[in-house]
Amino acid sequence: MKTLIHEIGVIDNQGVKHPVNFQAGLNVVTGKSSTGKSALIEIFDYCFGSDENTIPKGVITNSASIYYVALAVNAQNILIARDPDIASKAFFRRIETFDTSEINREYFNVSYFRPLPEFKKHLRDFFIDIDDVDESLVAKIYRGGRKAPTPSIRSFSSFMLQHQNLVANKHALFYRFDEKEKRDQAIEHTKIFLGLVDQKFFHLSQEKERLAAEFRRLERSKETNKRAVDSYKQKVGPELSQLYALMGFEEEPLSLEKVLRHPQNAKDELDEVIVPEKINHSSDAITQRYNQLKLERTQKTSQLRRLQRQTASINKHIEEEERFSNNVKQFSTPTHVHIAASVCPFCKTEKDTLQQSAENLQQAITKVSGNLAQARPMKAKFESSLVTIQRDTEHLNNELIALSTQIEDIEATEEKIAKNKSLYENIIMHKAKVFALLDSLNMADDSDIENSLKELRKQLKQINESLKKYDVEKGLKNASIKVNKYMTDIGSHFEFETSYKPINLHFSFETFDLYHLTPENEKIYLRSMGSGANWLYCHVTLFLALHKYFAELGNKCAIPSLLFLDQPTQVYFPNFTRDNADTFDEQKSTEAKQRTEKERPVDEDIKAVENLFSQLSIYCNELESSNGFSPQIIVTDHADNLELSNGVKFDSLVNGNRWRKRGLIDPVS
């Protein structure tokens, strides 16, 4: 997102304003130690919604009444601020045109202060138009109905701020990533920041999950209906055969297959067939069926007895194995063999011929005990077989119950006939049973469910087609490829150690890992690369490549086009933390005197620093030329009066922000 900081400033307790103005592209704030250079990045972070005030304690914090940042987001000017006395709130005000002369203590009217959470959401709306990032409503239910964390402006800080203790750190690349929750959120929301997804993506994902759940529910209902139909079908066959046998039919007037295929039509046809006139009183069909049922029951009973014997045998084997296992655990192998010598009672001569036999016996015992201990257990196989047999037994029991019921039904019918009950009355009762089962088959019709499933398939297909255009995984992969390409070009201009040349840095938007890939395809991660200069250039190369990619995305990218680099030259001038000279040249001379002959000459470090600033300047100018705007880079450092290779005057980058004889708070209140 095209973003430009106009001014960062402090209003002190006396109402005096202390502003620092910035321009597009590269900005340098240079000066000696303890002038407030590093406070600028902390002031920006605090005004940008940080819960914690990390501005260095001292003159600034003792004097400050208001911290503020004036910036433009896509040409919309806003002013944000914090009052350290009311840390739970933040100031937010839109302005038509930024005019630094209008900024004073009275400008920060209390009515523009909002609760910090509300402030963050309001500021976020300038960068991201998204309110719901739940892809799964089920996950939301598991969270107790709480929405997934929405993207926060605080995640932007990881891409914008390189603090003094981070810019050349070998253990960390991104600000705030030491807190796992914040790191995970920033990585998770990257697909939003890069414009790979929008609000519609999350709504489509939620709808896909809902429809898929409904589809599975209907399929389960369909399966339940199928099992019910199968159960009814199994009951229809015996009842229909019983009915035909009572009627005395030698052949089936209506096949079971036809009855099951069209239950309602079958009822109409059976009404025409099952009538008193068509009863064959002389037929022995019912007797034949009775004998057939008894034969089947006898066979099933035989099968059941065999399964019961197998069950008993397997249970016995399981018990034996458990007993054997317990005995083996109690068995211990003898470690020593004690053999007493045999003595002749007459001549008193000792004999030791048993020694070898005893040793052979010990070896045999050891081998046997070892074999016993290593015997493969069979209990699991026995138990699996037992479960299978138990299931078969249960199935046979159910079949036997059904056969016995049919046999008893025939016997009961014959008893009723013997007691002068009408045969046709019994036939009507069986007909009613058959019709009741056929009605159940009609009720279990899947036509409505199938129509619903068809409609759901259609809707899911449409959603999947809509989601295809997002393809987040491919988008993140392509983003990584572009950033890696940019790092190859940018890194080639920095002074990496010879062992890492040509530098071949790789970054993943999915894991946020950075490593150098050697010609042998060995991955060397930042933590394993030696030298502070290598760490610095890895940080700078990565963040310049990232912001080049962000600028290329234009308004699709939500991340502000801002980058703070605080004290990047500290790897070359670690002693500059005690820089109290009135000019940078004086400090260079002091540094040169303090170095030993074995140390690298100051002039070589100055050349490396000049190259660093030259590349930053070239980078900004090239992006301005190709994209129409450049990320705004703000460097706070001790370095000054540098000669840049592209001919840009260093003074034009400093733009009056040279703090050798003053500081951020000047004069001190």
Looking at per-residue pLDDT, the higher value among 277 and 569 belongs to 569
Phi, psi of 165 (to 5 degrees): -85, 5
Range scoring the smallest mean pLDDT among 133-147, 350-364, 392-406, 568-582: 350-364
Range scoring the smallest mean pLDDT among 26-30, 78-82, 139-143, 538-542: 139-143
Does a structural domain hold residue 336?
A: yes
Does a structural domain hold residue 173?
A: no
Length of the chain as a residue count: 669
Q: Could you report the per-residue pLDDT of 597-619, keeping only the tens digit for each?
A: 777 788 888 999 999 999 999 99
Mean pLDDT of 347-359: 65
Q: Could you report the per-residue pLDDT of 525-565, keeping only the tens digit for each?
A: 999 998 889 999 999 999 999 999 999 999 999 999 999 99
| CA dist 613 → 489, 592, 607 (Å) | 16, 21, 10
Does a structural domain hold residue 571?
A: no
Range scoring the smallest mean pLDDT among 98-107, 208-217, 344-353, 432-441: 344-353
**In which band, very low, low, confident or very high, does the pLDDT at 586 lie, cut at 50, 70 and 90?**
confident
635 alpha-carbon distance from chain centroid: 36
Rounded-to-integer distance, Cα 285 and Cα 244, Å: 8
Stretch (H or E) spanning 468: helix 447-468
Does a structural domain hold residue 331?
A: yes
Q: Could you report the per-residue pLDDT of 354-406, keeping only the tens digit for each?
A: 666 666 766 766 666 555 555 456 677 888 888 889 888 988 898 888 888 88
| pLDDT at residue 271, as a whole number | 81
Number of domains in the chain: 1
Q: Which residues contact 450 (CB under 8 A, 6 or more apart)?
A: 222
- Bridge-based pairing of strands 562-566 and 161-162 is parallel
| pLDDT at residue 598, as a whole number | 72
| pLDDT at residue 23, as a whole number | 96
Instruction: Say what the pTM is.
Output: 0.71
pLDDT of 116 over the 80 cut: yes
Mean pLDDT of 648-661: 93
Looking at per-residue pLDDT, the higher value among 21 and 341 belongs to 21
Map residue 161 onto helix, strand or coil. strand
Most confident of 39-43, 265-269, 433-437: 39-43
Domain that holds residue 396: 227-447
Does a structural domain hold residue 610?
A: no
| pLDDT at residue 656, as a whole number | 92
Does a structural domain hold residue 623?
A: no
Q: Say how many Å lie between the first and final Cα of the chain, rounded.
A: 38
Does a structural domain hold residue 586?
A: no
Looking at per-residue pLDDT, the higher value among 639 and 382 belongs to 639
Does a structural domain hold residue 106?
A: no
Q: Could you report the per-residue pLDDT of 227-277, keeping only the tens digit for each?
A: 766 676 677 778 888 888 888 887 888 887 777 777 778 888 888 888 887
Query: Burial level of 432, CB count in 10 A (0-12/13-18/19+)?
Result: exposed
**In which band, very low, low, confident or very high, does the pLDDT at 581 lie, cut at 50, 70 and 90?**
confident
Mean pLDDT of 161-185: 92
